Amino acid sequence: MEREYLIGIDMGGSEINAGLVDLNGKVMKKLTIPIDTKATKAKIIESIVFAVNKLKKDKILGVGIGIAGAVDVRRGIAIAPPNLPGWKEVPLKRILEDKLKIPVLIDNDANCFAIAEYKIGLAKKMQNVVGVLVNSGISSGIVLGGKLCRTASGEIGHMTIDSREKCSCGNIGCLEAYSSGAVIERKVKKLLNKKTITMEEIARLAKTNSKVKKIVADAACALGIGLANMALLLNPEIISVGGSVTSIKGFVEAAEKEANKRVRILENKVQIVKANTEDYGILGASSIAF
């Protein structure tokens, strides 16, 4: 008997993660394709098509794509993804549907993440859910009353948490200027006088090097302030935190501790959890195609 599946694609700046997902939200098969930083748009689209064709099995109901930055969901246009330089108003849905002959949906990656947590993840059966992704930037998706809140911009990364550090957006004091992967990497590189560093190395160093530990602790503390603000505003049942930075042991826990110091006015503590799967990008993207 022919079975039905979905394909979820998480578009990162350095790789495409794709997966075949069954209708219960189980990842059946995965594929990662690295993207050259100089790759053209055509080349990247070709890689997406390759991934879908490679994973395709029985009947594919839809392909969901999660991408950083603003997305025109109705028309399926990636406005200007921050991790894909040179992409401007790319009608990804139309281009891919022409090539694949399968329905394609695209959405912001943090929206995908929040929907995945709500539909099949840690927030199953909850109604008010915030998903926060801490990667090189910080973004959020909000589910309120069981519905993805598209009118919320999800720009938690540019919420002002104090008035010192300059942010890449031009504002002063954004959360992203304290807690993002890019900022943590920059500080650790400066500390160790290194040209490059990976999040895995930082996660390792944070266990032994007290100065790295301090950089990470400060970043987690700032994230806690941002999450407290989010909690005071929305009072969600859960805030799930995912993204590359959460691979640092204790990062989310430290943010949770800080946040809960600041929300004593609320009746209940805010439940802040670390996303419990590495596949949330794939699952999130596939769940938008449900």
Q: Cβ 19 to Zn ion, closest distance in Å?
A: 32
* Angle ∠(257,262,266) on CA atoms, nearest 5: 105
DSSP letters spanning 12-52: -SSEEEEEEEETTS-EEEEEEEE--TT--HHHHHHHHHHHH
Q: Would you state the structure tokens that stand for residue 290, as one six-digit string?
A: 């449900």
Q: Which is nearer to Zn ion, 181 or 284 (CB)?
A: 181
**Dist. CA 165–CA 176, nearest whole Å:** 10
CA dihedral 196, 198, 204, 207 (to 10 degrees): 70
Q: Cβ 65 to Zn ion, closest distance in Å?
A: 25
Q: Cβ 167 to Zn ion, closest distance in Å?
A: 3
Q: Cβ 164 to Zn ion, closest distance in Å?
A: 13
Question: Which residues make Cβ contacts (< 8 Å) with residue 249, sequence separation at least 6?
Answer: 203, 206, 207
Q: Which is nearer to Zn ion, 129 or 225 (CB)?
A: 225
Q: Which is nearer to Zn ion, 54 or 166 (CB)?
A: 166
Q: Which is nearer to Zn ion, 7 or 184 (CB)?
A: 184
Q: For binding to Zn ion (CB under 5 A), which residues are involved?
A: 158, 167, 169, 171, 174
Q: Which is nearer to Zn ion, 167 or 231 (CB)?
A: 167
Q: Cβ 158 to Zn ion, closest distance in Å?
A: 4
**Dist. CA 280–CA 243, nearest whole Å:** 9
